[in-house]
Homo-oligomer: A and B are copies of this chain.
Amino acid sequence: MRIAVTNDDGVYSPGLLLLYEAVSSLGETVVIAPLEPRSAKGASLSLEEPIRLYELEVEGVHVYGISGSPSDAVHVARELLGKVDVLVSGVNIGDNTSIQNILVSGTVGAAAEAALLGIPAVAFSADVEGPRQFLEDDYRRLVVRAARAVTRLVAEEGLPEGVDLLCVNFPREFRGIVKLAPPARLRWREKLERRVDPRGRVYYWLYGEPMDPEPGTDVYVVHVEGGIAITPISLDFRARGINSVKLERLATEVSRAVAKC
């Protein structure tokens, strides 16, 4: 079995080697990730810029560093391995619960890119206090055991029809619960803070205040129940309301507007 490991926090994140530790016994494993952190860069691809590839040694593990994005890494991994049987991404510093985070996360973006290529994929993220929590023995054991079990099953049996990838989110303090949970829609109330730099020029910080999580969602499992949330994701963007009267009328109005074009 050929396994690709990537992330969006970059080659020096302890979460990357932790995921390598979890899956490397399952098959031939290549670690390939962005040289620099690419958090919140979604499913970005390098189309304007070429992709550079560097070979590094990080704590005794051979790691490929690329100049591009996590989704670029999926393509380069395919080039390096010939065929990728399963792609795992993470373990991200910070959970990626909710549709809002899933849309923007580079960790999930890489898994989504793999899914579109037909590669079973899992994105792992954790509500850690910071990267140092990945170095604690108890936390390492939790993540390694869970990530290995998920990856082994997904690699061996694939994902059910209609499921493109899995997002697995770890809580900060595990309270013994493991749950399948759908994503909440929102996790953050986003805000902009206006500041003035020492040279008198204005700039803005984008940040978010957490919203109250709805019971049953991934956010609730991770942040309220202290559980591991396993969230099956579909990339089927097709809206069901495609034949609604409102949309039929919109198409008719557009037809009329361009009738003489």
Residue ranges of A at the interface with B (Cβ–Cβ < 8 Å):
37, 39-48, 50-53, 68, 71-72, 75-76, 78-79, 99-100, 102-104, 109, 112-113, 116-117, 138, 141-142, 145-146, 148-150, 153-154, 157, 159-164, 174, 176, 178-180, 182-183, 185-186, 190, 192, 194-195, 201-207, 228, 230, 232-244, 246-251, 253-259, 261
Contact = CB atoms under 8 A, between A and B. Distances in A.
Contact of A251 (B202, B204, B230): B230
User: What is the copy number of this chain in the assembly?
Assistant: 2
Nearest to A234: B239
A192 B75 contact: yes
Given A44-B44, A141-B261, A206-B45, A254 B230 contact: yes
The 7 nearest A-B residue pairs measured at CB: A42-B42, A232-B239, A149-B257, A234-B239, A50-B203, A160-B244, A142-B261
B42 A251 contact: no
B247 A163 contact: yes
Contacts of A202: 52-53
A240 B225 CA distance: 23
B164 A239 contact: yes
Nearest to A240: B162
B178 A258 contact: yes
Contacts of A116: 99-100, 103, 185-186
A148 B154 CA distance: 47
24 contacts: A42-B42, A42-B44, A43-B104, A50-B204, A51-B192, A51-B206, A79-B192, A79-B194, A145-B258, A145-B261, A149-B257, A153-B253, A160-B244, A161-B241, A163-B244, A163-B247, A176-B258, A180-B251, A183-B237, A183-B238, A230-B250, A232-B242, A232-B247, A234-B238
